[in-house]
Amino acid sequence: MVNDRFLPLITAIFVTCLLISNIIAVKLAAFGTLPISGPLVLPAAVIIFPLSYVFGDVLTEVYGYARARQVIWMGFGCNLLAVTAIWMGGVLPAAPFWDAGIYGSPDAAQQAYDSILGFTPRLLAASFTAYLFGEFLNSFVLAKLKIATAGKWLWMRTISSTVAGQLVDSGLFIAIAFAGALPLPALGQLMVTQWLFKSTYEILATPLTYIVVNFLKRVEKRDHYDRETNFNPLVMRS
């Protein structure tokens, strides 16, 4: 008998990784220097966002594409709610005594709030578009490869699906967010750097993927194959 006892936990981890990554993405972090291209600067979100792909792989591998599709849309909805709440918090008038002792004035405190938690419409459009296309492609490729390989070579399937999904995610995000603001060579370098970083992250996380997948297949008694699945991302039925 199959069950979904751990599905809520995997869903919660997936959505949490997504929400945290969007909040901390405002910081550009230095990750050292590359021999050819120079300083490696990436959004701080890269420390956790690739985990959403790891657990997206887990969802598809164990529970199937249809369940993963539901969770992807759930993550989208939760992210939209978080962004809306943060925006509403920002437009509320500041109390006259709000953090005046730390920032010196309510206006300075408001500027700090906006600089850390504020979003521009363009960045939001880039983030939401890249997320949906990248996650759905990742899940689709993994599900199709599982059938093609008869469930073998999990490492190859997870890495291949992530390489494809992260390529689309990085390409769309950088193109939508920065086209026109950066020269084409810089855009290309940002796309490739993020893609390679996130793909390497997935490769290094492969042992974690194996541990979680094997545990869930054993306790949930699930190992779904999407042979008759409708892969339309807009269909919400399981």
Whose tokens are 């399981």? That residue is 238
- Angle between helix axes 106-117 and 65-91 (nearest 10 degrees) is 160
Phi and psi angles of residue 41, each rounded to the nearest 5 degrees, phi first: -115, 125
* CB of 138 closer than 8 Å to CB of 53: yes
Helix (H, G, I), strand (E, B) or coil at 222: coil
Whole-model pTM?
0.89
Phi and psi angles of residue 173, each rounded to the nearest 5 degrees, phi first: -60, -50
**Structure tokens of 165?**
């999904």
Q: Which residues pair with 30 in a beta bridge?
A: 41
pLDDT in tens, 27-78: 777 777 767 666 777 778 888 888 998 999 999 999 999 999 999 999 999 9
Q: What is the mean pLDDT of each run of 10 residues along the chain (238 residues)?
A: 84 94 81 70 83 93 95 95 89 76 73 79 87 95 96 94 92 86 81 86 90 95 93 82
pLDDT in tens, 99-109: 666 667 777 77
